[in-house]
Amino acid sequence: MKQNKKGAAVWISAVLYFGLGVILIAIILGASLPTINKIRDKNIITQTKEIMHNMDAAVREVVRQGPGSQRVMDVQIKKGQFIIDPIQETMTWTYNSKVAISEIDETTEIQEGSLKIHTKSGIEEGTYDIQIQLTYTSIADIQFSNPTQTIEGLSSLSIKNEGINELTKMPKVGVSEI
């Protein structure tokens, strides 16, 4: 009978230690998860800014090289919404983040190279609506072949100088998913 009590005590200790371990892991994860999410958001924003800088360089190079010039590039939009608006001549990425990447203001816009960055408070407390935009109104007429005009996930884009738009007398740049 004494051996049975020792076996039960060992099992009770094991269960208690296991439970304590689970509680400690839950506390550590609960405390570090917001920090991990902020780091993830910052990485997504940084990667998207780099993609947009590369797209801008490709568009400007195609315009500079003249009709028929073409560049193909892979674009991976991990989060957020990337919209090409041929009417406004803009490429815009919007994302709801837990990280503010510029001054939080309804009217202030930060210029980073050709990128215009705008950060405002999000709907939920502690979130921010990030908007990064490229504008081509004085450079080229942007045309996008996709009727929805949005890019999500991994896409290959062809950026091609299609000649001069007779109405605007500006280079017509076609952007299409391939």
Give the tens place of pLDDT for each residue, 98-157: 888 777 777 778 888 899 999 888 888 888 999 999 998 888 888 877 666 778 888 888
Strand pairing of 115-121 and 90-97?
unpaired
Domain region containing 22: 2-177
pLDDT greater than 50 at residue 75: yes
Residue from 119, 116, 143, 6 nearest 62 by CA: 143
Strand pairing of 150-164 and 171-177?
antiparallel
Residue from 131, 138, 141, 139 nearest 166 by CA: 141
pLDDT for res 101: 79
Q: Of 17-26, 61-70, 103-112, 144-153, where does mean pLDDT reach its minimum?
A: 144-153
pLDDT for res 132: 93
Locate tokens 């919209």: which residue?
A: 83
Residue from 138, 117, 134 nearest 175 by CA: 134
Report yes or no: 84 and 151 within 8 Å, Cβ to Cβ.
yes
**Which DSSP helix (H) or strand (E) runs through 87?**
none
Report yes or no: 155 and 75 within 8 Å, Cβ to Cβ.
yes
pLDDT for res 63: 92
Q: What are the b/e assignments for 44-54, b being 16+ CB within 10 Å?
A: bbeebbebbbe
Q: Of 58-72, 82-96, 141-155, where does mean pLDDT reach its minimum?
A: 141-155
pLDDT greater than 60 at residue 3: no
Distance CA 28, CA 50 (A): 33
Distance CA 58, CA 160 (A): 9
Strand pairing of 171-177 and 141-144?
parallel
Chain segment 153-177, per-residue pLDDT in tens:
888 889 999 988 888 888 888 888 8
Chain segment 33-60, per-residue pLDDT in tens:
888 888 999 999 999 999 999 999 999 9
What domain count does the chain have? 1
pLDDT band at 32 (very low <50, low <70, confident <90, very high): confident
